[in-house]
Amino acid sequence: MSAQLLDGRTLAKELRETLKMDYSAFKARASVAPTLAVLHIGDDDASAGYARALAKSCEGVGALFQSVELPSSVHQQEVEEVLEELNAAPEVHGIMVLEPLPDHIDHNRLIDLMHPVKDVDGVHPLNAGRLAANRPPFYVPATPAGGIRLLEHAGVEFKGKEAVVVGRSDIVGKPMALLLLHRHCTVTIAHSRTQDLPGVCRKADILCLAVGRPEMVKADWVKPGAIVVDFGTTYTDDGLKGDCDQAGVAEVAGMLTPVPGGTGPMTNVLLMENLLRAAERVVSG
């Protein structure tokens, strides 16, 4: 058996072309361009690189990008004041706070302060709670949203399937589990303290990996014919690696998102979808 590879690059390109037209129509209707403000504290290289990627994504669909950079020595109160200004600014439609943050900055406090309508990353408790209850409107974090979109595009039937999500982060594991549950899967969330993790994974018709440990999941962890969604992105001396042994798993699985080229290209496109929805909500009041 050789798995069908789910091509995130091609689908992301198609979605981006559609988004360009949607953004153009919004700007013509509202006389304003959707604008993403990114709060970047300190000089972390990875965070700065992600900010550049976000700027490129905005440019690609016709959105505006506003970088708000603060030194690592900034005080919590100063950051909160900047965030409140972004909340109140009518020309800003989406806000993101980039991690990692300096140790003395309370990330949860910033998330709680963010206006939930502008929370395009879907991390505010109101958005997380609405997602859990499946009560729109809410924003889904872009990475799991991209994974689900790939599966839907491939024609995956969710109802009644056994799904296992390995990883319990607030931005990937938990929301992915909820998205699968809302599509009538039977969902198990596994993690580092799960007993017999390989055995739990082998039960899955849909296996989603979001742990950040390169090539942790081997072929004998995977049920023959299973759908494997690999969210892992770890840079190693041998290049970018996912959470599963791609070569081995591809011989067992029925479908597999490759790394690179699977869920990764989808993430920022789905973020741009969230930004457009946020702009529509902000403009409509």
**Are 205 and 148 contained in the same domain?**
yes
Q: Residue 70 falls within a domain, yes or no?
A: yes
- 172: pLDDT strictly greater than 90: yes
Query: Whole-number mean pLDDT of the chain?
Result: 97
pLDDT at residue 285, rounded to an integer: 78
CA distance 73 to 183: 45
**Are 147 and 109 contained in the same domain?**
no
Q: Residue 125 falls within a domain, yes or no?
A: no
- 116: pLDDT strictly greater than 70: yes
Q: Residue 133 falls within a domain, yes or no?
A: no
**Are 171 and 111 contained in the same domain?**
no
pLDDT band at 1 (very low <50, low <70, confident <90, very high): low
Burial-class residue 80 by CB neighbours within 10 Å (0-12, 13-18, 19+).
middle
**Are 174 and 256 contained in the same domain?**
yes
pLDDT band at 155 (very low <50, low <70, confident <90, very high): very high
Q: Residue 12 falls within a domain, yes or no?
A: no
The domain that holds 146 is classified in CATH as 3.40.50.720
What whole-number percentage of the chain has pLDDT above 90? 97
Burial-class residue 284 by CB neighbours within 10 Å (0-12, 13-18, 19+).
exposed
Cβ–Cβ under 8 Å, residues 268 and 53: yes
pLDDT at residue 246, rounded to an integer: 96
**Are 104 and 152 contained in the same domain?**
no
**Are 193 and 251 contained in the same domain?**
yes
Q: Residue 83 falls within a domain, yes or no?
A: yes
**Are 214 and 259 contained in the same domain?**
yes
CA distance 185 to 135: 18
When divided into structural domains, the chain yields a total of: 2
Residue span of the structural domain in which 162 resides: 141-264
CA distance 121 to 143: 9
Q: What is the pLDDT of residues 68-82, one digit of tens each?
A: 999 999 999 999 999
The domain that holds 105 is classified in CATH as 3.40.50.10860
Degrees, nearest 5: CA angle 130-133-136:
45
**Are 110 and 159 contained in the same domain?**
no
pLDDT at residue 241, rounded to an integer: 96
Prediction pTM value:
0.96
